[in-house]
Every structure is written in C-alpha cells, then in structure tokens.
Amino acid sequence: MIFEGLREIADAYGSDPTPSDQHVADAVRFLASISGGPSTLGFFGRDKRPSDAVSVAVDLLREHGRQLTYEQTIKTVEILQTLDERRSVRRRFVMQILVTIAALAIALSVVFGLITASDDLKKIGYGLIGTVIGYWLK
C-alpha cells in the first residue's frame, strides 16, 4: 500500500504521455494552450462525466477549425485527462507535505520545549507526531 502511493506520485512527476499520431499531438498542444497550459486543464469534470470532457474538447476543436476522427478525439481526451489527473496528484502531494511540515513543526516545538507547555499539551504533541507517522505509513 505504501509503495502504491509512491508509484502514483512517481508517475505524476514522470514524463508526459506522447501520442504517436501527429494530429492528436497537435490537438493536445492546442487544447493545452487554450486553457493556459497543462497545469490548468480545468475543463474536465464540469459535470463529473467523461462524456462532458469529450464534448467540451470536440466543441473547442471544431470552434477553432480542427477536425479529428472519433478515435483521435478519444485519444486526445484520454491524454488530457491523464495530464489533469497527474496535476491533481502533484497538487495533493504538495499539500500533504506542507500540512505534515506544519504539524510536525508545532508538535516538535511543544515536545522539545521550544514552547512552554504543560504536560497535557506535550501529550497532545506526542499524539500529533504519532498521527503524522501513522498517516504516512498507512
């Protein structure tokens, strides 16, 4: 289970998928440029349905005079969804690290006496350290 999460994070920071079809590659670059880049591919999941992403991508491509076959459109949408999922994993990982650092900074400063604290507060600090360790070992 630990390695599954690490694999997901490693995949999110890995190389982006590259299509073999040049038309698909051009469409992916085009759709990414319209939305402001691969880090802001925000038009997926408007209604939380994959068909919505397909219709939005098809409408954008047609609106700008680009015609793809059905298979090319599906491949384009799959690649964009993969990029969107990777962006989500990267964002979640960064937030997990930030929350962990903040929680450990507070807990360790209480436990090691950098902040004057009662015994009850030190017990809470130890509990917070245990919670963080348990979270990362889940």
Q: What span, in angstroms and rounded, lies between the C-alpha atoms of 134 and 87?
A: 26
Domain-wise residue ranges, the chain: 2-137
Please provide residue 7's backbone torsions phi and psi, each rounded to the nearest 5 degrees. Answer: -65, -40
pLDDT in tens, 52-74: 666 777 777 888 888 888 888 88
Average pLDDT, whole number, for the chain?
Answer: 79
What pLDDT score was predicted for residue 26? 84
What pLDDT score was predicted for residue 88? 86
What pLDDT score was predicted for residue 48? 53
pLDDT in tens, 97-107: 999 999 999 99
- Reported as a pLDDT band with limits 50, 70 and 90, residue 45 is very low
Please provide residue 124's backbone torsions phi and psi, each rounded to the nearest 5 degrees. Answer: -65, -40
Q: What span, in angstroms and rounded, lies between the C-alpha atoms of 25 and 62?
A: 16
What SS3 state is found at 117? coil
Residue type, 133: I
